Amino acid sequence: MAAFKTLDDLSDIAGKRVLVRVDLNVPMADGKVSDKTRIERVAPTILELSKKGAKVILLAHFGRPKGEPVADMSLSLIVTAVNEVLGEKILFASDCIGTDAADAVSSMQNGDILLLENTRFHKGEEKNDALFTEELAKNGDIFVNDAFSAAHRAHSSTEGLAHHLPAYAGRTMQAELEALQAGLGNPVRPTVAIVGGAKVSTKIDLLQNLVKKVDCLVIGGGMANTFIAAKGIDVGKSLCEHDLGETAKAIMAEAEAANCAIVLPVDAVIAREFKANAENETVAIDAIPADAMALDVGPKTVEAISEWIGKAKTLVWNGPLGAFEIAPFDTATVAAAKFAAERTRAGALTSVAGGGDTVAALNHAGVADDFTYVSTAGGAFLEWMEGKVLPGVEVLKKG
Ligand code: AMP
């Protein structure tokens, strides 16, 4: 049973006004929604509540209007796309509080879906201002949060409302929390984490948390160079944060103390230019020429990573193993991702991935659908991997 309240804990909601925090922060191109994934993700919760006869009132932010109305950050621009995804015509109110919102809510029929204007058009939203939260709460009987991606922020519509109304996790929030629980909360061991990407500096908290939690930490991508250099190996012109050598050493020491194996590259694919199909070769990690850059981990490293994936029961992944956007430096990321997907399909592995470029890398490898769960939540996913408390999740906990 979930440790937090979900829609399963809600009964008799016909006629109730349910304020649902959703993530509708969709990308736009030429005034149209260019990717409807986020709308698709929240559709199940909206439709379930509507079918049960609730008056579904959607709260969302859109862009960064910094507390005042901005025309091209109006949620009215996405109403058509929401209608298309839901297969229902939704209503729209030009403010999320005040008489516009109250009038729109009072004219709703059971099962209607109403989208309120961008919550960030008011300064109170991001300040989690008590008065603004009270204004929002006036339009609801129940609060459902389905926006995990905004749960790392203590805003009025993500955290504050839960102190005014009975609060529940929506279906997308529930799926995300269950996947994260399986990935790091209470994982089946052995557990492997793969962390790649460009820089150590953005992932120090993440690495420090992981070494305490997993049996093996694989470090790949540009950030591995900082660890290699900290061991006294010359990485040539590779991306490397030399000033973080001591940090890298401390993380390796913490790993040793916690009995967490660290897998670092033993070979690398090097080139002299950062561009697609640049002339390249594979060398041992201690043989990177002074004028070359390591742009991917080599095949021997992939073998070592695969060996760990092969014996792991749980995998958490953030960040590519190389510069995956340019061929052939996507090779290791694609190979490891395909192997993890194969193990997952075989029922041998629970695989959870997310954060930044990870989703793009797994899509590039064509395996995002084969992973147990791929989080599109970005910042919230990373903070969760860092072991931080997410305010929007805390308030949904039972008891
Ligand atoms: P991050 O946002 O920190 O996960 O970093 C992702 C970026 O790291 C991607 O754009 C990759 O191209 C880049 N990256 C991964 N490996 C390397 C590498 N060896 N050298 C330079 N960039 C890399």
* pLDDT of 298 over the 90 cut: yes
- Strand ranges (DSSP E) for the chain? 17-21, 28-29, 32-33, 55-59, 91-93, 113-116, 142-145, 167-169, 191-195, 216-219, 261-263, 267-271, 280-284, 293-297, 314-318, 350-354, 373-375
- Name the band, by pLDDT with cuts 50, 70 and 90, for residue 75: very high
In CATH terms, the superfamily for domain 179-385 is Phosphoglycerate kinase, N-terminal domain (3.40.50.1260)
- 39 — pLDDT class (breaks 50, 70, 90): very high
* Preceding peptide of 69 cis, ω within 30°: no
pLDDT per position as a tens digit, 118-140: 999 999 999 999 999 999 999 99
The predicted structure's pLDDT at residue 129: 98
Strand partners, 353: 317, 374
Mean pLDDT of 2-6: 85
CATH topology of domain 7-171: Rossmann fold (3.40.50)
β-bridge partners, 33: 28
Cβ proximity of 343 and 310 under 8 Å: yes
Q: Which residues contact 360 (CB under 8 A, 6 or more apart)?
A: 324, 325
| Domain residue spans of the chain | 7-171, 179-385
* Residues in Cβ contact with 374 at an 8 Å cutoff, skipping those fewer than 6 apart: 352, 353, 354, 358, 359, 362, 368
Do the beta carbons of residue 239 and residue 225 sit within 8 Å? yes
pLDDT in tens, 144-201: 999 999 999 999 999 999 999 999 999 999 999 999 989 988 899 999 999 999 999 9
Interval 372-396 mean pLDDT: 92
Segment 248-261, tens digit of pLDDT: 999 999 999 999 99
Ligand 1 atom closest to the Cα of residue 220 is 16
pLDDT in the model for residue 2: 54
221 lines ligand 1 (CB under 6 A): yes
pLDDT value, residue 376? 86
Same fold across 7-171 and 179-385: yes
Residue (of 307, 306, 316) closest to 373 by Cα position: 316
CA angle 180-185-188, nearest 5°?
Answer: 95
Report which DSSP code applies to 197.
S
Catalytic status, residue 220? no
Q: Which of 44, 40, 25 is nearest to 153 (CA)?
A: 25
Nearest CA owner, ligand 1 atom 12: 323
| Mutation probe of ligand 1 site: the residue of 329, 330, 359, 364 with most atoms within 8 A of C-beta | 329
Mean pLDDT over residues 41-51, rounded? 97
22 CA → ligand 1 middle, Å: 30
* Torsion angle in degrees (nearest 10) through CA of 325, 331, 335, 340: -30
Determine how many CB atoms are found less than 10 A away from the CB of residue 324: 26
pLDDT band with cut points at 50, 70 and 90 for residue 1 = very low
Mean pLDDT value across residues 339-347: 98
Lowest mean per-residue pLDDT among 183-187, 269-273, 342-346, 365-369: 183-187
Structure tokens at 368: 């995002």
**357 pLDDT higher than 50:** yes
Catalytic residue flag (residue 379): yes
Query: Which protein residue has the closest C-alpha to ligand 1 atom 4?
Result: 197
Minimum mean pLDDT range among 53-62, 138-147, 367-376: 367-376
Strand partners, 317: 194, 353
Q: In this model, does residue 210 exceed pLDDT 80?
A: yes
